[in-house]
Amino acid sequence: MHLKRIELEGFKSYRQRTVLDNFNPNFNAITGLNGSGKSNILDAICFVLGITNLNHVRAASLQDLVSDYGKTGIERAAVSVVFDNSNRARSPCGYENYDEIVISRVIVSGQQKCFLNGSICPISKIIDLFRSIHMNVNNPHFLIMQGRITKVLNMKPLELLSMMEEATGTKMYESKRQVAEHLIHCKEKKFKENERLLVDAVMPKIKKLNKQKDEYNQLKLAKSKLGMYERLVAAYQYHQAKENISKFNTLKESSLKSIDSERKIMACKEEKYTEIEVELKALKKKQGQCTALTKLQEELSNCNKDECSAQSVYESKVNALKKLEEYMQSLSDHIDKTEKNKADKNEMYAQRKQAVEEEEDQFQRLKDSAKQYQIMCDVLQNGMTVDTEGKAFTMASCLTAAQGKLTNIEVEKNSLEIKIAEAKKKLKKNKEMQDAAIPEQKQLISDLDRLEKEVQNLESSIAALQFDQHQLNEMNKSYQQLSDECHSLEVKLRQLESQFPSLEIRFSEQTPEFDRNKIKGRVAELIRIKNPRMAVALDVTAGGKLYSVVIDSSETVRMLNDAKCLKQRTTFLPLDAVESKILNRDVIRRAKSLVGDENCNLAVDLVECVDPEFQKAIDHVFGTTLVCTNSEMAKTVCFDKGVRARTVTLDGDVFSPLGTLTGGSKPSGGYLLEMRVKNQSIHDEFRGKKNQLEKTLKTLHELRAVAQKHSALEGELQMQLMKKNNAAQRLQSCQAAQLEKECESLKTEIDEASCRLNSVNEDYDATKRQCNEISAAWQNSKVNKEAELSKAKKSLKEATKKVSHMEEIVTKHQEELSRLENDIEVLTNDIENAKQEKLRKELEKEELQTAVKDSKFILDGRVNSTKAIEEQLRVIREKLKNENKDAEDMQNEVQQLQQECRDSELRLKQMQQDLNEQQKAAEKYENDLINLCNSNPWIEKEKQLFGVAGTEFDFEANNPGDAAKRLVDARETIKRLQGHVDKRNVEKCDVYQKEVTDLIRKRKVVYKDRQHLEDVMNLMQEKKREAVAVALEQVNEDFGQIFSMLLPGANAKLVQVSDEDILAGLEVKVAFGDAWKESLTELSGGQRSLIALSLIFAMLLFKPAPIYILDEVDAALDVMHTQNIGKMISEKFKTSQFIVVSLKDGMFSNANVLFRTELRNGQSKVQRIAKQIPTLETVSRSDVTYEQRRKKAQSRVQVLRDDCNRLTDNCEGLRIVD
């Protein structure tokens, strides 16, 4: 198919109808001046082909395509193109039977219409028609406009790859793949949302409906079984009631006989018990009661406790003293060892120090000697000599200097003699004045001595107080902190005690002299419970005595009663009158042997008294009761002949030896001790803090008293110090003192001047001798100069060697001396610290020794007291042992009879109780029979069948117990589900379940189809990769050939950006000769254009289209290259039609038909010029080979494209979204 004719009317510059006819099937050229309408012809062709982006035809809207729209009255533009379709092999799909295809596109009033062979059609149909012959005007490879060359040169690797994909025809699949991936990605969110709704909303609802369905089935089943169970249970109850009534009548007769027999036995035992009890009372009256034994036992118990406490204190003090003595011995050993070490170090240090000092002196002398020898050498070499001080000089200058020095000494000597005479004269005058002022000075000295003694006395008094202000501040701080803590705990306790108002002791008024501390508190407040489990038992043990008030004496009780100041009835326990009641230890041991030590305890042993002062009162309350773990043990202990004591269980049941049993219920307000034990820790903390507060307050009072004394003494001391300082200042400023100082100063001045005068006289004599010696030496110096120099050099060398050796020795010994000094200092500090520690420990030892003596004295006294009481007890027990034997036997017999009577009484009560219960049960069963018959009328008719085998009332085949349980379950099920189950929901459940099952099935299908689609897309990607590789190989071959044709000696190719994946992109490489360029930036503009054109034509060769349109592609080329392009088009593209717009003769000279445009009166006109171009029939073998390879590559790409089409068709029915 090729373009045959174009008709334009009202389109851009073609205002009037213009026809371009007889296009050549091969090479057509359009030329003309700028602005004459050349490119408008190409725009018209693109417009008909279905272009949608009007910017490509240089228009912003459809009105811009109408010639002078709105100015000349033209509102219509039309373009028609006639295509020759005689070549059926290259016809569009579905149009093989048409010889010509006419396509028109008309714009009227801003609206457009498209016509295909005279019939109106949508523009998409036209676009699809041309796409079937590889002419996609919206992504054209057949259309090369003016700017296309520049774009190709600037393309990135992926854009070049896109051109290759377009050439292979796989670009369409890529766009479809991207659309499919985008659709999958977009629908994935919706799919997940549906999945979430299915899991979170739908499935819970289905589950709920299934649950209601199950409940509905349960309800139906329960209703169906209810009647059967009710009949069976009622029949069994009726049957059992009849049997029970018969059984209870028989038991009633037996019980009455047993009661009569037991009453006769009990009467005999009571008679015998009365006789023995009378005899026992007579015997006890005869013997009398011995209270001495009880008192001694109490005293022995107290003494044992005191002895254990004293023994514990004594042992702790002895152990502490022993540890302290061991520690002090170790300190003494350490001090001795350290002092010995220090003495050795000191001795070594003294020796080394003396040696080092001697070495240092020797070293300094050697240094001075070496220095003198050096100076002497320097001086002798310079023609001078050296004096005794090592100074260089000439004999003449030396003599002059000595004479000048002698003159100065004479002047100084005269000055000193005058100064001494004046000072002696002034000293004599001052002594006379001082003697006159001595009485005043003596008085001032006496006052100062007196004040100093007063200051010393005050300082001694202050030191004796040993006052520490820091300790007072810390004690104040501690007192304030403890006071706050006590207040906080007291508030908390008041809140807790408000729950027990009965514990408060209320007074209406008190006498002024009454001491509130005499009232110690209620018993419940004065004890601590060792084990919280025992709280209930101890509460029951004490009973009302918990509210008894412990008071110091009976006198205080009398005073309170007389004053009538108590608002409530109160029981007092005066500590001077209350008796300590404690069970005998033998009885306790007997009780524990019956049930075990851990299961039986004396109540008083389970509590702890907050103060030993109240122990008698606590013994009185808790000393006669035993606490057992459970009722069985309590009963065993209570009624044992060897115990016979009141017993309480942990649950609060009380067993009395008189045969009474109480308990089984809990007070409405709870147990007092059980509630208080929960707050016991707060009480303990408050008590401890209060004790600390009292001790701290006592200490604080003592410190404050000392502080007051200290403050007073400090004030007096400051006053005396001020007086002392004033007296000292007066003494120093008195006349006698001033004169004394001046006389001392004058004496010192005279002594110094006299000493200096003697020294000056000696210097004078020495200087005079020196002058004489210099004069004599001047005469002999020239003769001895050389010998002196040689001797000085030798002496200098020896001195320098000795100095170096001695310096090393001195440095080494100084370092050793420094180390010894550091060691001695460390040892001194260690000894001082150890001595201070030892001194502190000695004071502590003295205190401990005193404490040990005191505790030993106390322990001995308590041991002696215990032994004395034990001896008294032994004597009394021996005396009573014989007297009590008979009474004990009678007492045992009385107790045994008493116990038997109680047992008989209990049995009678139990028999009577059992009889009453049997009577009540019989009446109950009779009432049940009546009620069953009234509520179940069918019983009278069918009662003969109850229990009969083979009937529905066969109790062996149908278990009545199971039936009763099932009846209860059925009733509960009906009650629970009756108003809860909705039958409509049950009916909906099956429908919804079916829909959900179908939805899950569809979801699985969608998952499967989506996975298949992804597999197909991956396979298509691989085939596209293969197609691009095949095309790249062929395009590179044509690319290099065309570029060599256009630019001889050059070559070009496309290479992969990544060796791993061809789809990563492509880039252009150029070679001149054998050298491949790394970049295209080195090329000229013309060379770059040739490369772009070569690549475009190579692409066109691989994917030939019926028509190619070129718009001034030779604009940047010279004449030679333009002619080569025209020649190349005519040679290479013999099966395609070219429509080329060009201004260069080298291009259109190769065209078969030339259309020349010109602009006349604002309208474009076209002239057709036919040209005769000789046809080259010769075809080289290489061209044939190229063409064969090209067709082979095209065929391979076509096969891959067909595979992609087939895969696409297979995926048409897949669903990626449901």
Q: Where are the domains of the chain?
A: 1-142+1106-1173, 499-678
pTM of this structure: 0.38
Show the DSSP H helices in 1047-1118 as ranges. 1085-1102
Q: Residue 1194 — pLDDT band, cuts 50, 70, 90?
A: low
Q: Residue 758 — pLDDT band, cuts 50, 70, 90?
A: confident
Which of the residue ranges 250-254, 662-666, 960-964, 1125-1129 has the most confident prediction, judged by mean pLDDT?
1125-1129
Query: Mind listing the pLDDT tens digit for each residue in 1033-1080?
Result: 888 888 888 888 888 888 898 888 888 888 888 888 898 877 888 777
Residue 5, pLDDT score: 93
Closest CA to 1135 of 1110, 1117, 1108: 1108
Cβ-count burial 980-1016 (b if 16+ within 10 Å, e if not) = ebeeebbeebeeeeeeeeeeeeeeeebeebbeebeeb
Residue 950, pLDDT score: 63
Residue 981, pLDDT score: 61
Determine contact, residues 820/354, Cβ cutoff 8 Å: no
Whether 190 shows a pLDDT value over 80: the answer reads: no
Determine contact, residues 42/29, Cβ cutoff 8 Å: no
Three-state DSSP state, 654: strand
Q: Which residue has the higher pLDDT, 864 or 1032?
A: 1032
Reported as half-sphere exposure (CB side, CA atoms, 13 A), residue 376 has a value of: 24
Closest CA to 82 of 41, 116, 132: 116
Residue 775, pLDDT score: 63
Which of the residue ranges 311-325, 368-382, 769-783, 850-864 has the most confident prediction, judged by mean pLDDT?
311-325
Q: Kindly report each contact of residues 173-180 with a partner whose C-beta sits within 8 Å and lies 24 or more positions away, as own/partner.
A: 173/1020, 173/1024, 173/1204, 173/1208, 174/1024, 176/1208, 177/1017, 177/1020, 177/1021, 180/1013, 180/1017, 180/1216
Which of the residue ranges 635-649, 841-855, 922-936 has the most confident prediction, judged by mean pLDDT?
635-649
Residue 104, pLDDT score: 95
Pick the CATH number of 1-142+1106-1173 from 3.90.180.10, 3.40.50.300, 2.60.40.2700, 3.20.10.10: 3.40.50.300
Average pLDDT, the chain: 77
Cβ-count burial 300-337 (b if 16+ within 10 Å, e if not) = bebbeebbeebeebbeebeeebeebeeebeebeeebee
Helix 1181-1210 to helix 1085-1102 angle (10° resolution) is 60
Average pLDDT of the segment spanning 394-404: 67
Residue 914, pLDDT score: 76
Q: Residue 1157 — pLDDT band, cuts 50, 70, 90?
A: very high
Longest dimension (CA), the chain: 182
Q: DSSP letters along 719-758, please?
A: HHHHHHHHHHHHHHHSHHHHHHHHHHHHHHHHHHHHHHHH
CB atoms within 10 A of CB 892: 12
Q: Is the dihedral of CA 68, 72, 76, 78 positive or negative?
A: negative
Strand partners, 646: 625
- Spatial separation of the C-alpha atoms in residues 739 and 745, rounded to whole Å: 10
Average pLDDT of the segment spanning 1166-1192: 62
Three-state DSSP state, 133: coil
Whether 895 shows a pLDDT value over 90: the answer reads: no
CA angle 255, 258, 260 (to 5 degrees): 110
Query: Mind listing the pLDDT tens digit for each residue in 43-83?
Result: 898 888 888 878 778 888 888 888 877 676 688 899 999 99
Average pLDDT of the segment spanning 390-417: 71
- Spatial separation of the C-alpha atoms in residues 1215 and 1002, rounded to whole Å: 10
Query: Mind listing the pLDDT tens digit for each residue in 291-303?
Result: 566 776 777 777 7
Whether 608 shows a pLDDT value over 80: the answer reads: yes
CATH number of 499-678: 3.30.70.1620
- Spatial separation of the C-alpha atoms in residues 862 and 848, rounded to whole Å: 21
Closest CA to 300 of 736, 841, 876: 876
Least confident interval from 779-793, 922-936, 1111-1125? 779-793
Q: Residue 908 — pLDDT band, cuts 50, 70, 90?
A: confident
The amino acid at residue 145 is M
Average pLDDT of the segment spanning 314-339: 83
Determine contact, residues 1194/1102, Cβ cutoff 8 Å: yes
Determine contact, residues 922/294, Cβ cutoff 8 Å: no
Residue 8, pLDDT score: 92
Determine contact, residues 501/567, Cβ cutoff 8 Å: no
Whether 231 shows a pLDDT value over 80: the answer reads: no
Average pLDDT of the segment spanning 572-587: 86
Of the chain, the percentage scoring pLDDT greater than 70 comes to 78
Strand partners, 115: 104, 120
Cα-based distances in Å from 21 to 12, 114, 730, 1169: 19, 21, 147, 11
What contacts 280, CB < 8 A, 6 or more positions away? 887, 890, 891, 894
Q: Which residue has the higher pLDDT, 454 or 924?
A: 454
Instruction: Phi first, then psi: give them for residue 1159, nearest 5 degrees.
Output: -110, 120
Whether 384 shows a pLDDT value over 50: the answer reads: yes
Residue 1217, pLDDT score: 42
Residue 376, pLDDT score: 64
Residue 560, pLDDT score: 79
Average pLDDT of the segment spanning 847-857: 79
Whether 958 shows a pLDDT value over 90: the answer reads: no
Residue 1218, pLDDT score: 41
Average pLDDT of the segment spanning 418-445: 79
Average pLDDT of the segment spanning 745-749: 83
Whether 555 shows a pLDDT value over 80: the answer reads: yes
Residue 534, pLDDT score: 87
Same fold, 1-142+1106-1173 and 499-678: no
63 Ramachandran zone, left/alpha/beta (phi>0; psi -120 to 50): alpha
Q: Residue 84 — pLDDT band, cuts 50, 70, 90?
A: very high
Residue 1177, pLDDT score: 44
Residue 364, pLDDT score: 80
Cα-based distances in Å from 722 to 715, 725, 1206: 11, 5, 124
Residue 218, pLDDT score: 63
Query: Mind listing the pLDDT tens digit for each residue in 27-54?
Result: 899 998 888 888 889 889 888 888 887 8
Q: Residue 1176 — pLDDT band, cuts 50, 70, 90?
A: very low
Whether 371 shows a pLDDT value over 60: the answer reads: yes
Average pLDDT of the segment spanning 824-828: 84
Length of the chain in terms of residues written = 1218
Whether 732 shows a pLDDT value over 60: the answer reads: yes
Average pLDDT of the segment spanning 1109-1133: 80
Q: Residue 514 — pLDDT band, cuts 50, 70, 90?
A: low
Tokens of 495: 């809140």
Q: Residue 106 — pLDDT band, cuts 50, 70, 90?
A: very high
Residue 428, pLDDT score: 80
Three-state DSSP state, 707: helix
Tokens of 721: 């110090």
The single residue listed with the structure tokens 């909906």 is 988
What contacts 952, CB < 8 A, 6 or more positions away? 228, 231, 232, 945, 958
DSSP symbol at 149: H
The alpha carbon of 207 is separated from its chain's Cα centroid by a whole number of angstroms, namely: 41
Least confident interval from 528-537, 885-894, 1129-1138? 885-894
